[in-house]
């Protein structure tokens, strides 16, 4: 392991006083350690404050910190693992693949590919599907997950604007996206909250509410999950409807699977009543053809607004869609008008 890798690994394991590093790292000269530290500072991977050295707080440095710790605990040299050629071969193993196909995919020579693959085999980063000719695929080794997070660019979050209020924006993105934002914006100060599994950061007009979602759920699944909450019904789903290009056929299919067609259809019908340009009549009709006879609360945990339920048209929608409305119609209508 070279001095730079050893120095970063030592810092990754815990903050150190600059003068203590040569004492903790045996087999390296003091000058080589300080040269390595200077290089790490130039690469923005470590920070030195009041003579204390720590890993930088941005997402890239934190991802490398986890890779270094996992690598050394599995007996792997992080420097070799993170070489460009090794990462390119690792990235090319997208499915079970032979060495010959890896040579074609990466453009590296056969000896180089064989060397890298044998390294992955030695440390159990890949499984051997076949020996002659050799075919390998990635497995569930914890380093493979960390390498994927390091190599892949986080999915850009979807922004839902909230004009004229705080937070002024809301973002929906994968946990990986939220993690990157958390690390990269930590210096600005953040406030964590349990509401809707979200956290917010920033001040004033830059305040943003982050709603982490699971990767590859799809916008329609996120939308439907939010539609089951009072906040989603009255507010958030309206902004998603404007910001996102929803696939209403997919939304209908998901609603069927979750026995939520009546509620989703009713909500879309209500939106169309006050903002007909947002929802086509044919979309509401598709949901209407698939509604059930079972009467359900909407949302299921909401409380009825008795004074609002006296409105004749509210009773009309409840009867048409077999639902009992349990949210503030006044708040919903006002939010639609604010769009």
Residue 286 has pLDDT above 90, yes or no: yes
Maximum separation of any 2 CA atoms in the chain, in Å:
84
- Asked which of 204-208, 222-226, 286-290, 301-305 is least confident by mean pLDDT, the reply is 204-208
Adjacency order of strands within the sheet including 46-49: 16-17, 52-55, 46-49
Shared-domain flag, residues 89 and 18: no
- Asked which of 168-172, 212-216, 283-287 is least confident by mean pLDDT, the reply is 212-216
Shared-domain flag, residues 326 and 221: yes
- 305 in Cβ contact with 234 (< 8 Å): no
Shared-domain flag, residues 258 and 335: yes
Q: Whose CA is closest to 323, among 269, 250, 249, 246?
A: 269
Shared-domain flag, residues 227 and 325: yes
3-state class of 206 per DSSP? helix
Alpha-carbon gap, residue 323 to 299, rounded angstroms: 9
Please identify, among 48, 78, 108, the residue that sits at the C-terminal boundary of a domain.
78
Alpha-carbon gap, residue 135 to 46, rounded angstroms: 39
Range with the largest mean pLDDT of 134-143, 240-249, 293-302: 134-143
Q: What is the mean pLDDT of residues 196-209?
A: 51
Residue 92 has pLDDT above 60, yes or no: yes
Shared-domain flag, residues 54 and 109: no
Shared-domain flag, residues 238 and 312: yes
Give CA separation, 60 vs 71, 158, 179, 201, 211, in Å: 16, 21, 11, 20, 21
Q: What are 244-261's pLDDT values in tens digits?
A: 788 999 999 999 999 999
Quote the number of domains for the chain: 4
Q: Whose CA is closest to 208, among 156, 171, 180?
A: 171
Shared-domain flag, residues 224 and 317: yes
Shared-domain flag, residues 163 and 112: no
- 212 in Cβ contact with 219 (< 8 Å): no
Shared-domain flag, residues 224 and 246: yes
How many of the other CB atoms lie within 10 Å of CB of 259?
11
Shared-domain flag, residues 110 and 173: no
Shared-domain flag, residues 333 and 315: yes
Residue 197 has pLDDT above 90, yes or no: no
Please identify, among 116, 133, 149, the residue that sits at the C-terminal boundary of a domain.
149
- Asked which of 64-68, 112-116, 234-238, 322-326 is least confident by mean pLDDT, the reply is 234-238
Q: What are 217-242's pLDDT values in tens digits?
A: 577 888 898 899 888 898 888 888 88
pLDDT at res. 271: 95
Domain range for residue 164? 157-216
Alpha-carbon gap, residue 262 to 252, rounded angstroms: 10
pLDDT at res. 215: 47
Residue 167 has pLDDT above 70, yes or no: no
Shared-domain flag, residues 168 and 244: no
For the entire predicted model, the pTM comes to 0.62
Please identify, among 133, 149, 165, the residue that sits at the C-terminal boundary of a domain.
149
For residue 30, what is the domain's CATH number? 1.10.10.10
Q: What are 258-283's pLDDT values in tens digits?
A: 999 999 999 999 999 999 999 999 99
* Region of residue 196 (left: phi > 0; alpha: psi -120 to 50; beta: else): left
């Amino acid at each position: 392991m070279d001095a730079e890798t050893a120095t970063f690994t030592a810092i990754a394991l815990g903050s150190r006083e600059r003068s203590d590093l040569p004492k903790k790292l045996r087999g390296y000269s003091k000058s080589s350690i300080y040269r390595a530290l200077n290089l790490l500072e130039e690469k923005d991977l470590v920070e030195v404050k009041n003579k204390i050295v720590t890993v930088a707080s941005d997402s890239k440095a934190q991802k490398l910190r986890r890779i270094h710790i996992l690598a050394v605990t599995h007996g792997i040299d992080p420097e070799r693992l993170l070489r460009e050629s090794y990462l390119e071969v690792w990235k090319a193993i997208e499915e079970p693949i032979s060495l010959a196909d890896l040579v074609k995919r990466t453009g590296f020579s056969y000896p180089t590919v064989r060397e890298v693959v044998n390294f992955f085999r030695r440390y159990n980063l890949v499984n051997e599907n076949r020996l002659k000719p050799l075919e390998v695929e990635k497995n569930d080794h914890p380093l493979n997950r960390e390498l994927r997070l390091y190599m892949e660019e986080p999915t850009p979050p979807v922004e839902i604007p909230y004009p004229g209020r705080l937070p002024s924006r809301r973002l929906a993105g994968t946990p990986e996206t939220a993690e990157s934002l958390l690390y990269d914006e930590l210096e600005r100060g953040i406030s964590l909250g349990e509401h809707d599994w979200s956290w917010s950061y920033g001040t004033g007009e830059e305040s943003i509410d982050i709603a982490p979602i699971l990767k590859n759920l799809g916008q329609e699944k996120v939308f439907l999950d939010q539609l089951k909450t009072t906040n989603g019904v009255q507010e958030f789903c309206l902004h998603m409807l404007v910001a996102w290009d929803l696939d209403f056929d997919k939304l209908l299919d998901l609603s069927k699977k979750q026995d939520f067609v009546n509620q989703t259809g009713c909500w879309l019908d209500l939106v169309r009543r006050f903002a007909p340009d947002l929802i086509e009549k044919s979309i509401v009709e598709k949901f209407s053809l698939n509604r059930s006879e079972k009467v359900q609360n909407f949302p299921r945990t909401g409380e009825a607004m008795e004074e609002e339920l006296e409105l004749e048209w509210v009773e009309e929608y409840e009867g048409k869609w077999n639902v009992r409305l349990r949210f503030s119609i006044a708040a919903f209508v006002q939010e639609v008008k604010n769009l």
